[in-house]
Amino acid sequence: HSRSDRDDYIRVNYENINPKFAYAFNKYGPDTVNSFGVPYDYGSIMHYSAYAFSTGSSKPSITT
């Protein structure tokens, strides 16, 4: 969720995120976050659930 290429794989729905936790979706450049050539992994333990930090149970914070 913070990789520089994350927008190629997921959409962060900022309108559905509790503003208090918006920082958790900051995206960092390749000079800060090195993915080491590893492909994006939707099943990674570091990948937030679809409703992480959401403002409501029917409002996903992340969509693919």
pLDDT of 30: 87
Contacts of 46 (CB under 8 A, 6+ apart): 1
pTM of the model: 0.86
For the residues 31-36, what does the mean pLDDT come to? Answer: 89
pLDDT of 41: 94
59: number of Cβ within 10 Å: 13
Binding residues: 1
Binding residues for Zn(2+): 1
- The band of 21, judged by pLDDT with boundaries at 50, 70 and 90, is very high
Asked if 9 and 40 count as a contact pair (C-beta separation under 8 A), the reply is: yes
Residue 1: is its pLDDT beyond 90? no
Q: What is the pLDDT of residues 40-57, one digit of tens each?
A: 999 999 899 999 999 998
pLDDT of 57: 87
